Every structure is written in C-alpha cells, then in structure tokens.
Amino acid sequence: MRSLRRYLDSVPIEDALAKWLSSLKIRPLEAESASVPDSTGRVLAEAVFARVSSPHYHAAAMDGIAVDAQTTFMAGETRPVVLEPGRDFDWVDTGDPMPAGRNAVIMSEDVSWLDSGAAEIIAPASPWQHVRAIGEDIVATELLFPEGHVLRPADAGALLAAGIWEVKVRRKPVVALIPTGDEIVEPSERLAGSKPLLREGDIIESNTYVQSALVAEWGGVPLRTAVVPDDASALKSALRKALEQADIIAINAGSSAGSEDFTVEVIESAGEVLVHGVAQRPGKPVVLGRVGHGGRQKPVIGVPGYPASAFLTFSTFVEPVLKAMLGLRPAEPETVEATLARKVASPAGVEEYLRVKVGRVGDRLVASPISRGAGVITSIVRADGIVRIPRMSEGIAEGSRVRVALLRPRSEIENTVVVIGSHDPGLDLLGSIMRRRSGTGLASSHAGSLGGLMSLRRNEAHASGTHLIDETTGEYNTSYLARIMPGERVLLVAVANRDQGLIVPKGNPKQIKGLESLASGQVRMVNRQRGAGTRVLLDLLLRRLGIAPEAIPGYDHEEYTHTAVASAVATGLADCGLGVLAAARALGLDFVPVAKELYELAIPERNVSDRRVQAMLESLRSEEFKASLNEMGGYDISATGCERWWPK
C-alpha cells in the first residue's frame, strides 16, 4: 500500500497565488491575426491606428440641396433667394459626396419648389452646415485602441470605418481539463437516454464541464480530456499529452492525501509542486505546481473533487493565470455591503467562502447564509454572492456588516423578495411563476418557522413561511407572532393547507403505521432542525402520544428541508421522516398521513405595499400557482391566497 501523503502546508490564499505566479513568470501569449468580424472579445496584441479617415470624403448629412453657402447669405423671410438647379445647387441624399464647389446642405423641408424646378429659400446656410467633413469621426493615423484592449461589438464598427479588416490579437490560452477517478462516469454515456443509467457509487463528471464554461468566459479555449482512472501511470501519460497541447493544465480530483490521490506525485515526477494545501474553505487540498515543456514553465493545478470546492478553487487560481497570459487582470466582482442575517461560526486558520442569498429589505441589503458543504454545487447555483470570512476569525456575529462579492447582477438582487423561514416545495414553484409573470425574484432561505419570525422582527426579510401550531388552542402562527413580534401588525396569507406525514421507502418495508411506530425503537427517523414548524408539530404529537424523543433512534439527525428529509429516506440513511407529501412524491416514496396543517406567509405591515411583495402575492393568488400546487399533491388549495391580519 502507498504511504499517505501529508499536506505540505496550509498557505494563505494570497501567498499561494503570489508564489505560483512569481514562479511561472508569465508573459502574454504570442499574437495572431483575426478578422474584425471574428475579433469581438479578443485582446489586442498591439495598438491599432486608423488607416483611413471616416468619412474619407465630404459627405452630405441630410437629404436636400448642396449649395455654396455664400450664394445664400442674402436670403430672408422678406427677401427670398431663388436658386437654379445645376448652377446654384445639386440635389444630394444623405451620405452622398458633396459636389465640387458646394460646402453646405439645405434640408429638403426648408426648400420651396417653383414650377420651373428652381428652389426658393428664406434663410441663409452657414458653411459646412449639414455636411460631414473628412475625418469628422476618425482621422487617418489616429490611435483607435491601445494594446490590451478587449474588443467589444461596437469596436468592430470603428475598426471597419477606419479601413481595418484584420487585427493582431493575443492567442487564446488553451486549458487542458483532466477528470480523474475510477468512480467518475461520463454524463453523455449515462444521461443521454430517457432514464439515467447510474450504478451505486457512480459519480457524474460535472466539474470539467463547469470549468470549460469558465475558461471560455475568461477568454480561453477549454480542452477537456477523457476520464483518467485512479492510476499514476495513466495520469502521467495524460499529463504529458496535455503539456503538448495546452498552456494550463487542471487535474480534477486526486489532490488530497488519500491512498488513491496521485496528483501531487504525478506533478512532482514531471516538475515541481509549489503549494499543497491552501488555507481556504472549501477547497483546502489544492495543488499548485509547474512543469517545464518547450522552454516554458507551464502551470499545473490539482483541483479538489467536491463541486463547490472545485468551482471556487478553479476561479481563485486559474483565472489570474489565464488573464495574465492575455495581458489582463482578473475582473473585480461588484461588491456590496450587507447585514448578515444570522451568526456564522468558522474555524480559525482558514479563509472561508460563505455563500449567501442577498436582497434589499427596507433601506439595507441583507445577506442570508446558505449551505456550506464542499460537495453542494447548488450552494453556488443558489448563491447571490460570497462573503470571505478572514482566516484568523472564528466567525461573524449576527447583524454584522459584511462585504459581499456578487455572483448576480445587482439589478436582479434589488428586484428580489426575501423569504426566510420554513421550507415548502411550493415556494420554489412560486418563485418560478413570479419570475415568469413579473420578472421579480424570490430568495428563500430555510431557517425554520421560528428563525423566520425572528428574521422578520429584525427586519431582515420581507416575509416568512410559517406553520407553528399552538398546543393549547390548536391555532396556527398567531400566538407565536404575539410573542415574537408584539405591537406589530402582520398580514398572514395562506399558501395552502398541507398534508404532513411520515415519508417512508417505496412499499413501506417496515410497515410503519404512524408516529406510534417510532416508539418501538426499531425504526430510525430523520428529523427537521430545531425551530422548524415540522419539528414543533412532531414534538407536540409525541407528547400527546407519551413517546419520549430520546427513545427514538435518529431523532437528533437534523435536516433543513422537506426534500432533504425525503432524500435521507430514499438513500437509506433513515427509515422515515416527518415531511410533506409533495417531497415524498418527488422522490417516488410512500407516505403515511399524520396531520393537516396551515402553511402561511407572514408579512409585516411595513412590507405589504412593497411592489415586489405585491408581485409575489399576485402570483400566489393566480390560478396558475393553485393548479401547479394542486398537481404536486398533498395540498388543499381551497384557502390559497386567503388573508387575515394579526392583531385582527
């Protein structure tokens, strides 16, 4: 067995990048010719000077008559001047060359025509009136664009007008993307049919497809290779081939310190490892190296295999190298200052990339943390931005001001409703309908019903999904509002009455009949997090049945959404979990009904008139939403859209 390799270090991000770049001594790549129509987005390798003037002749700027301005000086309303065709004027259309001896154009609408064909005018023309003189736009030999300019669509017009058909641009860096792993399967082979062909243990290769899109976006050429098995010799062969074709090589997975992680060994055998292990989370096991080929030191990076780690690591380290080869600097992301919605703990010694949802509530932007797992690619998909937690910090306190690097345009974030609270699959459906109907977004953060109401109290959300039952009265939500938001008026809008029950595997192999089955100790459950309305309901029902929570295996196994509960059951991590019927149906699971409950959106009066909230309510009341919710199953839509105020 191979001995396990330790990390060389835990290097701060900036130090790791600086060490890599300085060792590579990158210079911009050589120039190549590109026609102007094909040059948009390319980087100029040399300054461009105009070859001709634009216009390159004196041109009429209006339809009308071309005249010598001197012949019109005596014209006035009481003293019209009559001009004879050919002798005193020539007709011109816009863009026509100015006839010899003419230096002004009188617009056709300022001319009165006589039956003889002569033109009568009552106002003089000034010299060069309505004439585009030679070089008005571009003068031959003037600088159009400097070296390093990234050509835009409008630039093509200027180049062509200046008499230029070809320009010298930087060659696009080629980035070889090498996926590795015995468990990795090609999506084209397994996903193309009507049903995915996946075996237990298969991992769909996605990282290099994401990286291909990033490389193209940055101005490079992605070169994706076939999947390489966990074999050192096979990886060495793939690296040698990539060195012949590419300027940058990214080896995906195998960068950690396990028995089947060969990336460090392979880079060392061909060149030099400069960094193994960076003080960041996610993405610590990154490898930064270089390998000599053709008189150049080519950068080689070992990218962690987890999708979120791969995305963040690739963006952090590959973009600066690729841009340097183009003679550019990485684009600085737009940043905003926001209030952090809840406390975040972070291990000292590593810089963490915290993914957040962002929305404007009142007069401030609010950032709500979302899933932090290294393997959760949807945390990048759902995120509006990233907060970097300094490596010497142990976290950020709730309510702190943080700097957010945006992943979406700010205009989208400003047009978003922030909903923090209990999860329901219907919210995702509502967000989709809102986007289609009004262009308004919905940012949903799953903090549980209690957490959502606390967010409303702190003015960190527009609305909260809530379904908190009062044990004494059996009424939903109002007693909690009275306790958490005293003195505030809140609009409660019904999303639906929904079925809560035990989600169980197909066929219900353990023959679970209801919550009473949990008392046997033979059934492992998965629970919702503390503060979730489903957790509150479960605890209430267990008390009524006299079942002690500590006697239930898995009671402390917590998930934050109904779909996560269903997934835990579907994958065998649990025998059952309390959730909604829609989540069970989505994963093809069975369902044992336990209770019906009212799920509402709580909206403080101060937010009700907000145009984004109104767009949400219009979508919620729509027949489209009701029909789609009904189709999901487990929802009684008879009350959907009904409103009540608290206090009444």
Q: What pLDDT digit, counting tens, does each position of 266-279 carry?
A: 999 999 999 999 99
Residue 194 has pLDDT above 50, yes or no: yes
- pLDDT above 60 for 6: no
Average pLDDT over residues 181-195: 85
CA distance 287 to 25: 18
Residue-wise pLDDT tens digits, 567-582: 999 999 999 999 999 9
Q: What is the DSSP letter of 229?
A: P
Alpha-carbon span 364 to 154, nearest angstrom = 37
Sign of the C-alpha dihedral computed for residues 544, 550, 555 and 560 taken in this order: positive
Q: Which residues contact 441 (CB under 8 A, 6 or more apart)?
A: 412, 413, 415, 416, 417, 431, 434, 435
What CATH number does the domain located at 336-407 have? 2.40.340.10
Return the CATH number of the domain spanning residue range 13-27+173-325.
3.40.980.10
Residue whose token pair is 């992301």: 333
- The CATH class given to the 434-646 domain equals alpha beta
> What mean pLDDT comes out for the span 342-352?
86
Upper half-sphere CA count for residue 609 (Cβ side, 13 Å) = 2
Mean of the pLDDT values across residues 75-90?
A: 96
Q: Where in the chain is the domain with CATH 3.40.980.10?
A: 13-27+173-325
How do 525-528 and 441-446 pair as beta strands?
unpaired
**What is the pLDDT, as a whole number, of residue 282?**
86
58-72, 202-216, 246-260, 533-547: the lowest-pLDDT one: 246-260
CA distances 160 to 48, 137, 278, 300, Å, are: 12, 12, 48, 40
Which of 244, 225, 210 minimizes the C-alpha distance to 177?
225
* Structure letter (DSSP) for residue 492: E
State how far the Cα of 283 lies from the Cα of 277, in Å rounded to an integer.
Answer: 9
Residue ranges, comma separated, of all CATH 3.90.105.10 domains in the chain are 31-54+137-170
Query: Measured in whole angstroms, how far is the alpha carbon of residue 267 from the centre of its chain?
Result: 32
pLDDT of residue 107: 97
Cα dihedral sign, 39-45-49-51: negative
Tokens of 458: 């702190």
Q: Which of 474, 421, 426 is nearest to 444 (CA)?
A: 421
The per-residue pLDDT of the chain, averaged, comes to 92
pLDDT beyond 90 at 224: yes
| CATH 2.170.190.11 segments of the chain | 59-132
Are the C-beta atoms of residues 177 and 284 closer than 8 Å to each other? no
Q: What share of the chain is helix, strand, coil (3-state, %, to 5)?
A: 30, 30, 40
The pair of structure tokens assigned to 97 is 């060359």
Residue 375, pLDDT score? 56
Give ∠ CA 73-77-81 in degrees, rounded to 5.
45
Number of H helices, E strands in the chain: 18, 38
- The CATH number for 59-132, chosen from 3.40.190.10, 2.170.190.11, 3.30.70.100, 3.30.1280.10, is 2.170.190.11
Backbone angles phi, psi at 484, to 5 degrees: -90, -30
CATH architecture of 31-54+137-170: Alpha-Beta Complex (3.90)
**In which band, very low, low, confident or very high, does the pLDDT at 645 lie, cut at 50, 70 and 90?**
very high
| Residue 262: predicted pLDDT | 85
Which amino acid is it at 619?
S
> What is the pLDDT, as a whole number, of residue 2?
46
Residue 386 pLDDT: 94
The pLDDT assigned to 254 comes to 63
CB neighbour class for 566 (10 Å; exposed up to 12, middle 13-18, buried from 19): buried
Is residue 157 classed as helix, strand or coil in its secondary structure?
A: helix
Query: Burial, 321: exposed, middle or buried (Cβ in 10 Å; 0-12, 13-18, 19+)?
Result: buried
Do residues 255 and 285 lie in contact, with contact meaning Cβ atoms separated by under 8 Å? yes
pLDDT at residue 492 is higher than 90: yes
Residue 321 has pLDDT above 70, yes or no: yes
pLDDT of residue 371 exceeding 80: no
Torsion of CA 85, 90, 93, 96, to 10 degrees: 160
DSSP state of 377: T
- Output DSSP code: residue 172: P
Contact (CB, 8 A) for 421 and 480 = no
Residue 7 is given by DSSP the state P
Distance CA 551, CA 521 (A): 7
Main-chain dihedrals φ then ψ at residue 329, nearest 5 degrees: -105, 150
d(CA 597, CA 580): 10
Measure the CA–CA gap between 139 and 56, rounded to whole angstroms: 9
- Rounded distance, CA 319 to CA 96, Å? 49
Provide the CB-side half-sphere exposure for 330 (13 A, CA).
15
Q: Give the residue-averaged pLDDT of 325-354.
A: 90
List, in sequence order, every residue forming a beta bridge with 297; answer none if it has no partner: 292
Provide CB contacts within 8 A for 475, sequence distance 6+.
Answer: 469
pLDDT score recorded for residue 198? 81
Provide the pairing of β-strand 490-504 with 643-646: antiparallel
Q: Give span(s): CATH 2.40.340.10, the chain.
A: 336-407
- 3 pLDDT more than 50: no
166 vs 163: CA distance, rounded Å: 10
Residues 333-343, mean pLDDT to the nearest whole number = 91
Helix axes 307-325, 13-24, angle to 10 degrees: 40
What's the confidence (pLDDT) of residue 341?
84
What's the Cα-to-Cα distance from 420 to each of 183, 242, 345, 443, rounded to whole Å? Answer: 37, 47, 20, 8
Q: Which of 107-121, 277-291, 484-498 has the lowest mean pLDDT?
A: 277-291
pLDDT above 70 covers what percent of the chain?
97
pTM of the model: 0.83
Label the pairing between strands 576-580 and 590-604.
unpaired
pLDDT value of residue 549: 95
User: Which two structure tokens, joined as six digits, stand for 463?
Assistant: 């609305």
- What amino acid occupies position 446? H
250-259, 422-431, 555-564: segment of lowest average pLDDT: 250-259
* pLDDT at site 4: 46
pLDDT at 1: 41
Instruction: Give the pLDDT score at 260.
Output: 55
